[in-house]
Amino acid sequence: MIVLNINGESRSVDVPDDMPLLWLLRDVIGLTGTKFGCGIAQCGACTVHLDGAAVRSCVLPVSAVGTKAITTIEGVGASAVGKKVQQAWLDIEVVQCGYCQSGQIMSATALLAATPEPSDAEIDVAMSGNICRCGTYVRIREAIKQVATGKKVAPQTIPNEAPAAATSQVLSFVRVESVA
Amino acid sequence: MNVRFDKPLGEERPDNPSRREALKMGGLVVAFLWLGGGAKVLGRAAAQGPVAAGDAAFAPNAFVRVGTDGSVHLVMPSIEMGQGAYTGQATLLAEEMDLGLDQIVVEHAPANRKLYANPLLGEQATGGSTTIRFCWTTLRQAGAAARTLLVNAAAAKWKVDPAQCTVARGVIRHEASGRTVGYGDVADAAAQLPMPEKVQEKDASAFALIGKPLRRVDTAGKVDGSLQFSIDLRVPDMKIATVKACPTFGGKLVAVDDSRARQVPGFVAVLKIADAVATVGEHFWAAKQAMDALDITWDHGPNTQFSTEQLFKDLAEASKNGTPIPGKEVGHVDGAKGKAVEAVYQLPLLAHATMEPQNAIVHVRPDGCDIWTGTQVPARCVDVAAKLTGLKPETIVVHNQYMGGGFGRRLFEDPVEQAVAFARQVSYPLKVVWTREEDIAHDRYRPAYYDRIAATLGDDGKPVAWKHRITSGSVLATFAPGAMGKNGMDADAIECAADLPYEFPNVKVEWVRHDMPEGVHLGWWRGVGPVHNVFVIESFIDELAHTAGKDPLEYRRSLLQKNPRALGVLNLAAEKAGWGKGSLPARVGRGIAVAAPFGSYLCVIVEAEVSPQGEVKLRRAVAAVDCGVAVNPNTVEAQVQGGLIFGWTAALYNGITLKNGAVEQHNFNDYRMMRINETPALEVHLVDSKETPGGIGETGTVMAFPALFNAVFAATGVRLRSYPIDRSALVQGADALKAVVTQASDHGAAKEGKV
């Protein structure tokens, strides 16, 4: 029996020691927001936090977790930074298929929690372990900067909970990024 | 996509639906059946009812469901795999029904060709960048018809002229009296009214939703982990399996020794089919451990000698000696006088590598079958399950799910077919999850191509003759044999080649079919025919410009004088990119490409830098897009951004290679994806257009290749005619190569001491 701290709750699980944390979360606990993409720590879809640090859960045996606090995408919104990251993801509309985005958000939150105002290079380093097949990288970069600066750095989407009548704005929609 | 799946392109439909019938079914002829009843969310049993109406009070067509509680469900004929299709479709319906997107529940359409076939494709399929193109008519009419009936019902109740009523957020208001009533309150009455002969969609000036960057309807659950893909679903009593098919194409399973696998904690079973084995466990880890512990004997079959080298040898041979099928012929290409230029382009097989690996949950019972999966072709999933199980199609329910990427992979139901073949051997629901290695090794691959292209340039440097012979396998021939042309032509193979944006006096475009060996499967891949043809054509146009001594932009401009929309995006991109302005450092170049794929017009300019060691870095890219009315400009921009990165990924890194009849790549370590640190500054500029919407999902990918390769040429003077990019051809000199070896060795990366 292993006792783990997952999203602030203590969970006792009876699984093989060598089971990667990913499969414990997905197939035993039922927290399926953490995704399987490659199984060899190449794509980052399985990223979770251990005491706030981003780790790839697909290659992390449960026996190696110890007493460290595990945070998954289901729990990351409980932190102020995590919540801001999720909101920026929606405001800029980063997401396409969404499959990799749990991992992207976990990596971005870990970055911003440790480095509130990351440079472009720091963003690249922290986020280059997360593959997005839909190619949302431009907006990931912008969403991180939006959280870091608190400023609207890119065109914002109109939330669809807003009344239809209140959406009479923005006809030209052109995003221009400066040359890096 | 400029192909159909039900018949050859260009053939007339024998059945011409009446206007009224078309309104009922959104363009498709079927019997109209109203089920009536209270307002309930579509239940499982009802989900495949004759019109999939569930218990909705008002179901005027296949797409709209209004409950007496005012709930509005929109049934989406096109699936959501990240491209924003649900939001686009919901926007069109909501626009015509005067609803907010927040008032709508979107539903996956059940498998039902009669109701939900894509009229542009002739199949219930999402692909070919067709969703907005067909829904622009189909769903706006469906929404307008629903609104008309609901307003008519309210007007009848009040005994007033419907024309005096307005609607806002689903509330009907009679302006003169100030009376109001919600859609739900007149849903029952509306269901009794006859369908109007015709309805009028809104004028563009009245659009409240179309054209706005509305937030997508599917993203909130994608940022907190709550939205479930089929891989995330857990069905009671379900067991989890992973699979391994014979690594050699066309091979068979001979024997399995599972004695070690049975020792794995959580092991449940080993299942076999003709060409694959599955290990079943209480969780994926057990299944995976058991798979790794199997001792499998394969009969590797007939393709053990087949390799990439052989494939291109065969394609070259077919190109030379095969029988070409004419695609387009204008004038006489052979008599033309002038400077002759010719080139050969070779394009590799490509995998899709969707982030969500292939998976399905299948529960086969004596009386029916449930399938939970994410598919671009739900009706085809029913077909294969019925065939394998012998069950009646009406007892097979496909519960379609959001997809973690599609890109054409989920137009092929082979993973579902395989899952059914395993699941019918057990009584419990079986979830089959492929590993990434299985996904790479058993994809439906983008065809390899061998193109011979030639032009004769007149005194002004412009082509007087253009000759393009394409040689490849055919996706269409296996996917929809009945849709092949009478002369054997595959319309996909020549799309964007037979319909060039340029006008040349003498043109000959032809295709030589060369089938892959049995067991090597080809598939639709984002960009389909155009992603191949536009690369070859726009690269070759660049070669011609160079031969003629003209600037690549000016050359294209001179050739596009009769094509205002193409010229429009060309000029816009050139202006935004500052083409010809400023000086670029050494080994930095700009490349341009223009094309009109999927009914849209795009020009992309890439600025790339090539290191002395041959590494290519994208510095900046500018895209100009005229896709007609942009239903959601935010989505258009996102699709062009992502489409470009999808294409550049293949250009920089990808190519499935075969050795001894098996794929040599395994996972993201050797089938690389572009990452954020390689992503350039990227601008997308939309032309404010009133034209009918064109497709967008695949366009960026189509443009990515030639724009990048033309930039590499501008930077280095080296013309690359295949991909992935051959770095060794771009090395500045022997010293540069030495430098990279030293550098890599310092980091312990170059194990063999060479590049």
Residue/partner pairs of B650-653 with CB below 8 Å, 24 or more apart: B650/B350, B650/B704, B650/B705, B650/B723, B650/B724, B651/B704, B651/B705, B651/B708, B651/B709, B651/B723, B651/B724, B651/B725, B652/B616, B652/B678, B652/B708, B652/B723, B652/B724, B652/B725, B653/B724
Q: d(Cα B680, Cα B646) in Å, to the nearest integer? A: 13
Does residue B370 lie in a domain region? yes
Whether residue B404 is found in the same domain as residue B480: no
Contact B625, B600 (CB under 8 A): yes
Count CA atoms within 13 Å of residue A89 on its CB side: 30
The residues, any chain, with a CB within 8 Å of residue B724's CB and separated by 6 or more, are: B348, B650, B651, B652, B653, B654, B655
Contacts of B681 in chain A (CB under 8 A): 177-180
| B409: CATH | 3.30.365.10
How close does chain B come to A156, measured CA to CA in Å?
8
Domain hosting B133: range is 19-220
Whether residue B409 is found in the same domain as residue B546: no
CB < 8 Å from A in window 327-386 of B: 353-357
Domain boundary among B161, B187, B220: B220
Whether residue B129 is found in the same domain as residue B237: no
Beta strands at B506-513 and B325-330: parallel, antiparallel or unpaired: antiparallel
pLDDT of A7 reads: 98
Task: List the CATH code of the domain at A2-75.
Answer: 3.10.20.30
Pinpoint the residues of chain A covered by CATH 3.10.20.30: 2-75
Domain boundary among B187, B220, B253: B220
Whether residue B208 is found in the same domain as residue B179: yes
Whether residue B40 is found in the same domain as residue B58: yes
Whether residue B576 is found in the same domain as residue B667: yes
Contacts of A168 in chain B (CB under 8 A): 208
Does residue B743 lie in a domain region? no
**Could you give the dihedral angle defined by the CA atoms of residues B711, B713, B719 and B722, in that order, rounded to the nearest 10 degrees?**
-20
What percentage of chain B has pLDDT greater than the value 90? 87
Q: d(Cα A88, Cα B143) in Å, to the nearest integer? A: 32
Express each pLDDT in A85-100 by its tens digit.
Answer: 999 999 999 999 999 9
Residues in chain A, pLDDT under 70:
161-180
| Residue in A38, A165, A180 nearest the CB of B668 | A38
For A68, B319, B455, B498, B510, the CA distances from B330, given in Å and listed in that order, are 72, 21, 14, 10, 12
Nearest to A133 by CA among B79, B351, B433, B673: B673
Whether residue B426 is found in the same domain as residue B462: no
Whether residue B239 is found in the same domain as residue B280: yes
Express each pLDDT in B302-332 by its tens digit.
Answer: 999 999 999 999 999 999 999 999 999 999 9
How close does chain A come to B345, measured CA to CA in Å?
26
For B509, B541, B722, the CA distances from B340, given in Å and listed in that order, are 17, 13, 21
Whether residue B61 is found in the same domain as residue B109: yes
Question: For A7-136, where are the alpha helices, taking DSSP H only?
Answer: 21-23, 80-91, 101-114, 120-127
Does residue B698 lie in a domain region? yes
Whether residue B52 is found in the same domain as residue B89: yes
Q: d(Cα B229, Cα B223) in Å, to the nearest integer? A: 13
Q: Test A180 with B684 for CB contact under 8 angstroms.
A: no
Q: Test B226 with A74 for CB contact under 8 angstroms.
A: yes
Task: List the CATH code of the domain at A77-156.
Answer: 1.10.150.120
Express each pLDDT in A137-171 by its tens digit.
Answer: 999 999 999 999 999 999 999 987 644 333 323 22
Residues in chain B, pLDDT under 70:
1, 11-55, 734-755
Domain boundary among B391, B409, B433: B433
Number of Cβ pairs < 8 A linking chain A and chain B: 253
Question: For A35-100, where are the alpha helices, taking DSSP H only?
Answer: 80-91
The residues, any chain, with a CB within 8 Å of residue B82's CB and separated by 6 or more, are: A95, A96, A97, A98, A99, A134, B403, B404, B405, B406, B642
How close does chain B come to A61, measured CA to CA in Å?
11
pLDDT of B21 reads: 54
Contact B79, B126 (CB under 8 A): yes
Does residue B79 lie in a domain region? yes
Helix (H) or strand (E) holding B327: strand B325-330
Please tell me whether residue B556 adopts helix, strand or coil conformation: helix
Contacts of B224 in chain A (CB under 8 A): 33, 73-74, 77, 86
Backbone φ and ψ for A131, nearest 5 degrees, come out as -85, 140
A99 touches chain B (CB under 8 A): yes
Whether residue B717 is found in the same domain as residue B684: yes
What's the total number of domains in chain B?
3
Does residue B732 lie in a domain region? no
Pinpoint the residues of chain A covered by CATH 1.10.150.120: 77-156
Does residue B271 lie in a domain region? yes
Does residue B326 lie in a domain region? no
CB < 8 Å from B in window 51-80 of A: 72-74, 77
Label each residue of B156-212 as H, E or C. HHHCCCHHHEEEECCEEEECCCCEEEEHHHHHHHHHHCCCCCCCCCCCHHHCCCCCC
CB < 8 Å from A in window 199-238 of B: 208-209, 211-220, 222-229, 231-232, 234
For B29, B58, B93, the CA distances from B51, given in Å and listed in that order, are 12, 12, 18
Q: What's at B665, amino acid-wise?
A: Q
Q: d(Cα B206, Cα B384) in Å, to the nearest integer? A: 45
pTM as predicted: 0.92
Q: d(Cα B285, Cα B398) in Å, to the nearest integer? A: 27
Q: Test A157 with B100 for CB contact under 8 angstroms.
A: no
Please tell me whether residue A142 adopts helix, strand or coil conformation: helix
Beta bridge pairs of residue B663:
B658
Tally Cβ neighbours within 10 Å of residue B260: 13
Cα angle B502, B455, B579 (rounded to 5 degrees) comes to: 55
Report the complex ipTM: 0.92
Whether residue B552 is found in the same domain as residue B599: yes
Does residue B176 lie in a domain region? yes
**Could you give the dihedral angle defined by the CA atoms of residues A71, A77, A78 and A83, in that order, rounded to the nearest 10 degrees?**
130
